[in-house]
């Protein structure tokens, strides 16, 4: 992993990867959402509202995966002092927060026709809302304590401690009585019919590629900002 510690080496890989992730992500999402809207059948219980799952599941997945990325970046920053880890953590935070918010909003929109309510304060919904607030806290802390484009130790520790919320979100539907259904996709298989499952998995893959493209763009932006600052300082010093 330390092979990528040099920003120039990282940029040599990130620059060609960014457009590939971007184009593949957009094409995969367009295909999955087109199929989800016009090709797949309605669910026998939920009716057409099941089509909202094709945007809800990928967005909330990215919210949780994003914080897992912040956890890994925090560990790499504190244990191995990887110079790009703090930059990666900062780059993940804003898209992670936005996709968590989209997961909450699309879940709420799905809940109205399916459950008859926009919101309930049950374990799953509340812990997902806590994840969104954790993102806001991380963004504020990382911005306030920026060091060489990366984050301070305090922000890295916050990212690691905040990861305790991920298993809480995952197991909330089994630990507490919840209006939210239990996990449909587990390591043992899926209870979702394949006609509905495949566009959901394709949509998740597409949104993940797009998320990777956005994170690479944001990392490149931060690295360019650090270089501008260093160059201006050198020019000012003569």
Partner 1 sequence: MDHWPFIVAAYGITIGATLALLGWSMAVMRARENKADALRKEHRR
Alpha carbon distance 124, 177 (integer Å): 10
Structure tokens at 96: 């992670």
Return the residue of 22, 24, 72, 78 that touches partner 1, per CB under 8 A: 22
167 binds partner 1 (CB under 8 A): no
Sign of dihedral through CA atoms 4, 72, 183, 139? negative
Other beta carbons less than 10 A from residue 58's beta carbon: 29
90 binds partner 1 (CB under 8 A): no
173 vs 214, beta carbon nearer partner 1 = 214
Closest distance of CB 48 from partner 1, Å? 4
Rounded to 10°, the helix 194-237/53-79 angle is 40
Total residues at interface with partner 1 (CB under 8 A): 38
- Contact residues for 170 (Cβ-Cβ < 8 A; gap 6+): 64, 183
173 binds partner 1 (CB under 8 A): no
Site for partner 1, rule CB under 8 A: 22, 33, 37, 47-49, 51-52, 55-56, 59, 94-95, 98, 101-102, 105-106, 109-110, 112-113, 207, 210, 213-214, 217-218, 220-221, 224-225, 227-228, 231-232, 234-235
């Amino acid at each position: 992993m330390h092979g990528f510690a040099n920003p120039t080496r990282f940029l040599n890989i990130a620059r060609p990867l960014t457009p590939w992730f971007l184009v593949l992500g957009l094409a995969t999402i367009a295909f999955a959402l087109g199929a989800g809207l016009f090709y797949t059948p309605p669910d026998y219980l939920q009716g057409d509202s099941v089509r909202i799952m094709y945007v809800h599941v990928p967005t909330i997945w990215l919210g949780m995966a994003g914080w897992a990325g912040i956890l890994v970046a925090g560990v790499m920053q504190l244990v191995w002092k990887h110079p790009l880890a703090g930059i990666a953590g900062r780059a993940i935070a804003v898209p992670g927060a936005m996709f968590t918010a989209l997961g909450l909003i699309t879940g709420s929109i799905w809940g109205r026709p399916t459950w008859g309510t926009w919101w309930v304060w049950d374990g799953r919904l509340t812990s997902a809302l806590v994840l969104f607030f954790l993102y806001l806290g991380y963004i504020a802390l990382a911005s306030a304590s920026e060091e060489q484009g990366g984050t301070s130790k305090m922000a890295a520790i916050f990212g690691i401690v905040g990861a305790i919320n991920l298993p809480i979100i995952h197991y909330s539907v089994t630990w507490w009585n919840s209006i939210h259904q239990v996990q449909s996709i587990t390591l043992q298989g899926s209870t979702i019919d394949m006609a509905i499952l495949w566009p959901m998995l394709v949509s998740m893959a597409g949104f993940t590629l797009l998320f990777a493209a956005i994170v690479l763009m944001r990392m490149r932006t931060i690295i360019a900002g650090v270089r501008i600052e260093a160059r201006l300082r050198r020019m000012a010093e003569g």
